């Protein structure tokens, strides 16, 4: 099995996913929903990464972008050292065998018109694995592995309970022997007893097939039991990433502290002694997220710096990353030796490398410069503002070695038939007509357009008057 240089099976680099909001007859984009905004993480082979956060924080969207069920707006996804963020449907088809997803709703994720054998066997048929007899044998084997009977092969989904339907979804995800499974809240719709069975089943399958999980859930107790590391998301941002046990014993981000305070404790004495943190206010809109730290409108430790500057992910040792200006449970020595995490430094490094490539190739680095203001009015308006004559030549026009010319005299326009100096402004009014006649090599006069003619001609009789 090939993995990337740092041993990660899947890497997410500055991933972004925005959903456009369109309005009007033409469907013009007026705003965007920032579902996932600049998330960077990696999952080694055989590890379970738990993904937690409030509803609407972007967990499911991130999981769907990882397996490319949704097209990312920006960033990249690297699977086994290969970039898959920009691959099309044809390029992604061979990789579908390596990445599968267990969907959240077991009632909506199964086709009610198909039998269980067809639902589980379709992935193998699409990828050309075995003949009909071999596929049936593998489906019956998978049904036994997930705790169902081979007799369920010809039944429809409506004949099963919620837990049994979720087991069918797990069997479908295992049909192609994938390396990565994104489990989107696989136990949220199940009873407590069935949840325990499903969690034990996922752990047994991970040991047997050496699977890598991205486990999305709301229940922090279940996440603690199944996860090696836990990532906390808030409003599309990754705010903390830590080993599972350390996150529960030493949360650094105030949002994580509030989440852990909501986990019920079975001991009544410990539950009475623990402080319950209640967050005030509502979750900000992902259409217009707040500036700086996105948690500052609800954080009790927020200051002015939280409103102005977005905190980067900082490594506090032992792989514990957090993005907070006022970290909790951190001593002074740790604060003195913290460093910006590799993920945050990579973002700046890519810009520095891009700027260096531009300079090495001799290309200018794109910098946004302010545009000059729009100047309204023509030469006559500018002359009025300066107090100059509107119908005379520009002040100093035609000045030579003998000094400035008289303001009433025509400007030096050059010989007839020769182009004039563009730096010398052309006079206005009657002097402009005389100048045009001089440039055309005609007698001085007023240029008019006779009836039935498309050109201009001089009328000396009017000049004599």
Q: What is the CATH number of the domain that holds 27?
A: 3.40.50.300
Query: Two tokens at 220?
Result: 């922090």
For residue 427, what are the CA distances in angstroms to 86, 102, 158? 60, 79, 90
Q: Are 233 and 341 contained in the same domain?
A: yes
- Nearest partner of 217 among 189, 192, 257, judged by Cα: 189
User: What pLDDT, in 10s, does the model give residues 426-459?
Assistant: 555 556 666 666 656 655 544 444 555 444 454 4
Q: State residue 356's pLDDT score.
A: 53
Q: Are 301 and 425 contained in the same domain?
A: no
Judge whether residue 460 has pLDDT over 60.
no
Output b/e per residue, 392-418; b: 16+ Cβ within 10 A: bbbeebbeeeeeebeeeebbebeeeee
Q: Is 267 inside any structural domain?
A: yes
Q: Are 289 and 433 contained in the same domain?
A: no
Q: Are 290 and 431 contained in the same domain?
A: no
Across-strand partners of 230? Answer: 50, 242
H or E element in which residue 101 lies = strand 99-102
Q: Could you give the angle at which helices 162-174 and 116-126 cross, rounded to 10 degrees?
A: 20
Range of the domain at 259: 8-98+178-353
The domain boundary, picked from 298, 332, 353, lies at: 353
The domain boundary, picked from 297, 326, 353, lies at: 353
Q: State residue 465's pLDDT score.
A: 43
pTM of the model: 0.70
Contacts of 49 (CB under 8 A, 6+ apart): 41, 43, 213, 214, 215, 227, 228, 229, 230, 231
Judge whether residue 288 has pLDDT over 70.
yes
The domain boundary, picked from 353, 379, 397, lies at: 353
Q: Are 222 and 334 contained in the same domain?
A: yes
Q: Are 347 and 426 contained in the same domain?
A: no
Judge whether residue 304 has pLDDT over 80.
yes
Q: Is 153 inside any structural domain?
A: no
Q: Is 201 inside any structural domain?
A: yes
Judge whether residue 360 has pLDDT over 80.
no
Q: Are 421 and 302 contained in the same domain?
A: no
Domains contained in the chain, number = 2
Q: State residue 401's pLDDT score.
A: 43
Q: Are 433 and 318 contained in the same domain?
A: no
Q: Are 275 and 197 contained in the same domain?
A: yes
């Amino acid at each position: 099995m090939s993995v990337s240089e740092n041993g990660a099976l899947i890497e997410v680099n500055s991933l972004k996913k925005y959903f456009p909001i369109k309005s009007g007859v033409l469907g013009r984009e007026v705003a965007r929903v920032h579902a996932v905004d600049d998330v960077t993480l990696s999952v080694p082979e055989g590890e379970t990464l738990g993904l937690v956060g409030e509803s609407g924080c972007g967990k499911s969207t991130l999981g769907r972008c990882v397996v490319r069920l949704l097209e990312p707006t920006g960033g990249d996804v690297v699977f086994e050292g290969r970039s898959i963020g920009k691959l099309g449907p044809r390029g992604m088809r061979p990789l579908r065998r390596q990445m599968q997803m267990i969907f959240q709703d077991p009632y909506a994720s199964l086709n009610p018109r198909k039998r269980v054998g067809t639902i589980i066997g379709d992935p193998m048929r699409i990828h050309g694995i075995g003949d009909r007899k071999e596929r049936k044998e593998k489906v019956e084997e998978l049904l036994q592995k997930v705790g169902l009977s081979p007799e369920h092969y010809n039944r429809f989904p409506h004949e099963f309970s919620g837990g049994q339907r979720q087991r069918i979804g797990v069997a479908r995800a295992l049909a192609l022997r994938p390396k990565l499974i994104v489990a989107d809240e696989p136990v949220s719709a199940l009873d407590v007893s069935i949840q325990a069975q499903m969690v034990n089943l996922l752990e047994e399958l991970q040991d047997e097939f050496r699977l890598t999980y991205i486990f999305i859930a709301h229940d922090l107790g279940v996440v603690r039991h199944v996860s090696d590391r836990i990532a906390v998301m808030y409003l599309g941002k990754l705010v903390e990433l830590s080993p599972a046990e350390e996150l529960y014993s030493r949360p650094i981000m105030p949002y994580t502290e509030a989440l852990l305070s909501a986990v019920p404790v079975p001991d009544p004495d410990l539950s009475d002694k623990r402080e319950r943190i209640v967050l005030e206010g509502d979750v900000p809109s992902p259409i217009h997220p707040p500036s700086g730290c996105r948690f500052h409108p609800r954080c009790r430790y927020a200051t002015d710096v939280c409103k102005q500057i977005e905190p980067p992910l900082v490594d506090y040792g032992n792989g514990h990353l957090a993005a907070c200006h006022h970290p909790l449970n951190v001593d002074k020595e740790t604060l003195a030796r913290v460093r910006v995490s590799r993920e945050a430094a990579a973002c700046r490094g890519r810009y520095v490398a891009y700027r260096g490539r531009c300079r090495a190739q001799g290309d200018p680095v794109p910098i946004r410069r302010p545009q000059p203001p729009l100047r309204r009015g023509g030469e006559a308006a500018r002359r009025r503002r300066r107090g100059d004559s509107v119908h005379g030549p520009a002040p100093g026009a035609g000045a030579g070695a003998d000094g400035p010319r008289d303001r009433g005299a025509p400007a030096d326009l050059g010989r007839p038939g020769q182009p004039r100096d563009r730096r010398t402004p052309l006079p206005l009014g009657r002097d402009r007509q005389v100048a045009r006649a001089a440039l055309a090599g005609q007698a001085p006069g007023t240029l008019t357009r006779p009836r039935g003619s498309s050109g201009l001609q001089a009328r000396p009789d009017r000049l004599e008057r």
